[in-house]
């Protein structure tokens, strides 16, 4: 009885053979059990799924997935957002013009254009157009100080949203901005294309880095710093003054982290990396 139970517990094995149809010669033979077959089948499915995921996630094939945003759609979205902002400004201007026209017909004082420029986003200028007594006194004090230059402020700083940036390089954004994983943008362009300074400023670093290659960093007004990496050649030296739109480097593929001709561009404002596509129309 014990021997019969032992024989029943033996693993059932299967044989897969390939024979010649004419000579019946055995060309290939494989023996396997049910457990081995299941493990092998599951392993093949997992490897196949991982291969498909890797190909679609880390290669340009992911752009063929329906609904996946490519560089053209991202650029179109940015342009549309800028157009919407421009249309909002135009509508606000016409609204102010209509209100002023109505006030002139009624014999009232028109709204000062300064109230439109100094208004905050979302603030209704038309409702807050009439200054109060304290506002009038404060305005008069400021005017008196500026008249005799008592404030001591030779220049006024603009927020980054109000500044005009030159495009550093005409190309296609191959990888966009991500605050955590990729706080900068990569712009592909032919080798030796001209790289421009986005604003007036002073070169605070121009040299070689093993990972970033030839790098140039420029300090601008209003606590803004721009960085340009992986260049083929630098046209400016540390300490030199540069003007907005002037050539500073040539596009290249230098540094260990570069995989092709492109510009690695960073924009820093008050010590924090910001999204350049919000202020520059690439």
Q: How far apart are CA 242 and CA 218, in angstroms?
A: 8
Domain termination residue (choose one: 132, 150, 176): 132
Print pLDDT tens along the chain (282 aa): 555 555 555 667 777 788 878 887 878 887 878 888 888 889 999 999 888 888 777 776 666 666 666 667 767 777 787 788 778 877 877 887 777 777 777 777 766 655 544 555 455 555 544 455 555 565 666 566 554 444 444 445 667 887 889 999 988 999 999 988 899 999 999 999 999 999 999 999 999 999 999 999 999 999 999 999 999 999 999 999 999 999 999 999 999 999 899 999 999 999 999 999 999 988
Which pLDDT value is given to residue 141? 63
Q: How far apart are CA 234 and CA 252, in angstroms?
A: 10
Number of domains, the chain: 3
Q: How far apart are CA 160 and CA 225, in angstroms?
A: 11
User: Domain for residue 152, yes or no?
Assistant: no
Place of tokens 């000579």: 23
Tokens read off for 135: 């506002």
User: Domain for residue 98, yes or no?
Assistant: yes
Tell me: do 173 and 267 sit in the same domain.
yes
Closest CA to 226 of 185, 180, 176: 185
Range of the domain at 122: 69-132
User: Domain for residue 148, yes or no?
Assistant: no
Q: How far apart are CA 226 and CA 275, in angstroms?
A: 12
Tell me: do 92 and 185 sit in the same domain.
no
Domain termination residue (choose one: 60, 79, 94): 60
Q: How far apart are CA 108 and CA 124, in angstroms?
A: 19
Is residue 279 packed enough to be buried (19+ CB in 10 Å), middle (13-18) or exposed (0-12)?
A: middle
Alpha helical stretches, state H, 59-108:
71-106
Q: How far apart are CA 199 and CA 164, in angstroms?
A: 8
Domain termination residue (choose one: 80, 109, 132): 132
Tell me: do 45 and 74 sit in the same domain.
no
């Amino acid at each position: 009885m014990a021997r019969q139970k032992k024989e029943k517990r033996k693993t059932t094995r299967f044989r897969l053979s390939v024979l010649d149809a004419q000579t019946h010669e055995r060309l290939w033979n494989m023996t396997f059990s049910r457990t081995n077959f299941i493990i092998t089948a599951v392993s093949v499915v997992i490897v196949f799924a991982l291969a498909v995921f890797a190909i679609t996630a880390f290669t340009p094939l992911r752009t063929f997935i329906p609904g996946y945003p490519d560089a053209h759609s991202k650029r179109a979205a940015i342009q549309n957002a800028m157009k919407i902002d421009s249309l909002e400004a135009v509508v606000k201007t016409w609204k102010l013009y209509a209100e002023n026209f109505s006030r002139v017909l009624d014999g009232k004082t028109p709204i000062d254009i300064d109230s439109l420029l100094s208004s905050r986003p979302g603030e209704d200028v038309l409702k807050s157009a009439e200054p109060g007594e304290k506002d009038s006194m404060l305005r008069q004090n400021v005017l008196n100080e500026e008249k005799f230059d008592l404030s001591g402020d030779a220049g006024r700083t603009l927020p980054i949203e109000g500044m005009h940036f030159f495009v550093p390089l005409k190309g296609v954004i191959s990888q966009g901005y991500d605050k955590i994983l990729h706080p900068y943008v990569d712009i592909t362009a032919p080798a030796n294309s001209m790289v421009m300074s986005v604003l007036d400023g002073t070169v605070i670093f121009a040299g070689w880095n093993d990972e970033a290659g030839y790098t140039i960093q420029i300090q601008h007004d209003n606590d803004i710093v721009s960085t340009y990496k992986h260049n083929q050649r630098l046209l400016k030296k540390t300490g030199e003054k540069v003007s907005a739109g002037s050539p500073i480097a040539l596009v290249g593929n230098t540094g260990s982290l570069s995989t092709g001709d492109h510009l690695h561009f960073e924009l820093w404002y008050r010590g924090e990396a910001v999204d350049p596509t919000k202020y520059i129309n690439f």
